[in-house]
Amino acid sequence: MASLLSVLVIAIALSLPVGLYLGLSQLQSFSRQISSAPQLSIFLGLDGDSNDAAAIDKRLSAHPDVGTYRFIGRAQALSDLKRSAGMADVLDDLKQNPLPDAFVVTTRSNRPETLEALRDEAKGWPKVAHVQLDSEWARKLDAALRFGRSVVAVLGVLLAAALVAVTFNTIRLQILTRREEIEVSKLIGATNPFIRRPFLWFGALQGLAGGILAWIIVAMAVHLLNRDLRVLAELYSLSFRLAGLNLPDAIGLLGSSALLGWLGAWLSVTRHLWQVGRQ
């Protein structure tokens, strides 16, 4: 019974960082997807005409840093916008098209310096009203997520220590109930490894059971969260859902939980043997 409770405590301690890790790593890969091809958007002034657009087109085609680019005319931009996310009603009320002509530019290299240099250069071109680096918010998100990951790492270390402590205590209680067995075994020639072995097995198995339960808890949480997440994602016209632990991560979780349990047990038995040996 006490051991079942320990397994539960271990599972909860593990599922917290594992769940956070899952969520963060998937947000991160999502944000990488977006920012993987950083783009520059060059917006022309509303007073610009097709000649101005052609002039920019010429500059871009001659520019050494520019990889690909495409022109989005104001009429096309408006119809694109009408198609997306229930904007049609709002846009139909407008007397004139508020959108400018635009170029979407992909550079040859993804280095931020190149992008920023091109942005600054394009700002100076005639009839260019605004230049925007589209990947900037994604990079900020990425940095924020990286911070989140360090938080998870710190949390993980703390809760790993908790797992060791929980195992240490369970094994200590077990040792108390098996004191005589240990004493008699030592008197008739048991080595310390012989005495440690069953406790180490127990600690490792208890950790493993905690790991498996944590896996189940995370899987259930992902399942529950995905229901609400789907609604949220649909509102933003995104398809984003959490996946459960993949196999290497799951093996890592089970392996490290078993190892930490083993470590807690080892510390506990070794401490006891040391105390007995001193008498």
Which residues make up the interface to other proteins (CB under 8 A)? 180-181, 183-192, 194, 277
Closest contact distance (angstroms) between CB of 1 and other proteins is: 17
Find where tokens 């998937």 sit. Answer: 26
Instruction: Please give the helix or strand (H or E) that residue 82 lies within, else none.
Output: helix 74-83
Long-range CB contacts (< 8 A, 24+ apart) of 218-223? 218/15, 218/18, 218/19, 218/22, 218/244, 218/245, 219/244, 219/245, 221/15, 221/19, 222/19, 222/22
CB 171 within 8 A of CB 268: yes
Please choose, from the candidates 99, 140, 98, 108, the residue with its C-alpha nearest in 3D space to the C-alpha of residue 40: 108
Closest contact distance (angstroms) between CB of 279 and other proteins is: 9
Between 190 and 267, CB nearer to other proteins: 190
Between 62 and 187, CB nearer to other proteins: 187
Closest contact distance (angstroms) between CB of 14 and other proteins is: 32
Closest contact distance (angstroms) between CB of 189 and other proteins is: 4
β-bridge pairing 128-133 and 102-107: unpaired
Please choose, from the candidates 188, 40, 19, the residue with its C-alpha nearest in 3D space to the C-alpha of residue 102: 40
Between 180 and 228, CB nearer to other proteins: 180
Between 181 and 234, CB nearer to other proteins: 181
Closest contact distance (angstroms) between CB of 184 and other proteins is: 5
Between 70 and 278, CB nearer to other proteins: 278
Between 172 and 178, CB nearer to other proteins: 178
* Torsion 205-206-210-211 (CA) sign: negative
How many Cα atoms sit within 13 Å of 256 on the Cβ side?
17
Closest contact distance (angstroms) between CB of 194 and other proteins is: 6
- Helices and strands (H and E) in the chain: how many: 9, 4
25, 119, 157 from 213: Cα distances, Å: 21, 52, 19
Between 198 and 252, CB nearer to other proteins: 198
Closest contact distance (angstroms) between CB of 178 and other proteins is: 9
